[in-house]
Amino acid sequence: MAVKDSRSGVGRGLHGITASNSNTRISATRIPNRLASGSPVAALASENLGLNSERMREAMVQRLHAQGITHDQVLAAMQLIPRHVFVDQALASRAYDDASLPIGHGQTISQPWVVARMIAAVCNATMPARVLEVGTGCGYQAAVMAKVFAQVHSIERIRALYDTAKEHLRLLRLTKVRLVHGDGMLGLPSVAPFDAIVVAAAGIRIPQALLAQLRIGGVLIAPEGTSAQRLIRVTRTGASSWDRQELEEVRFVPLKAGVQT
């Protein structure tokens, strides 16, 4: 196997994040979250949000654009998917903050910037069609991807989260997402190859099984590391070669093998 390594870290000041178990970017850049009220009630709006949900999503998307997310289809998908549906009702008022939030079982729903960044990072000149997500969690990232890609497969190792994600996606009628309860480190060899793979948990290294399930020309993005983590973007360049690029510093929950029932 030949792996070409290049670094492309952004030139921003960094500081620590207080949450020790969160899917978030580590960055000193904070853009104020100005939220207005008064928009029409979304069909699936939480009681905690009422009239604010659509306007909150619009403000979130404007913030993402200001933070460097410029992919039109990704931004449109972030605008369409109601993030508050995927969090506990007690946290619904924070659903559109630029922060990760707990979803139980030691897991989190990723920071909106991280979701948008990772999805945009696997979009080449030719839009990926078949995409694998490792780590479904509550289903939010899979829901956003369903508005961007033609076919989404997603693996979740924790049965309770798998069941929760399945219900969320059913509620939103996102039938193109195919959920699997299984070991994400093994991928889905029966469905491979994939045009893109998005990994929502950090391992010491990216599993070779996932790299092998990329088609040639396909792109994988994943956090890598333990205490110090970075997003890694890998492009498969040949039968036994991959090009590796280091991106931003992040902090993700750990990637684990096996399943939890």
User: Looking at the annotation, which residues are catalytic?
Assistant: 110
Buried b (16+ CB within 10 A) or exposed e, 223-252: bbbeeebbbbbbbbeeeeebbbbebbbbbb
CA atoms within 13 A on the CB side of 104: 15
Q: Where are the alpha helices (DSSP H) in the chain?
A: 53-66, 72-80, 112-121, 140-146, 159-171, 208-212
| Residues forming a β-bridge with 108 | 102
Give the 3-state DSSP-derived string for 186-203, with helices as H, strands as E and coil as C.
HCCCCCCCEEEEEECCEE
Work out the burial of residue 220: count CB atoms within 10 Å of its CB; fewer than 13 is exposed, 13-18 middle, 19 or more buried. Answer: buried
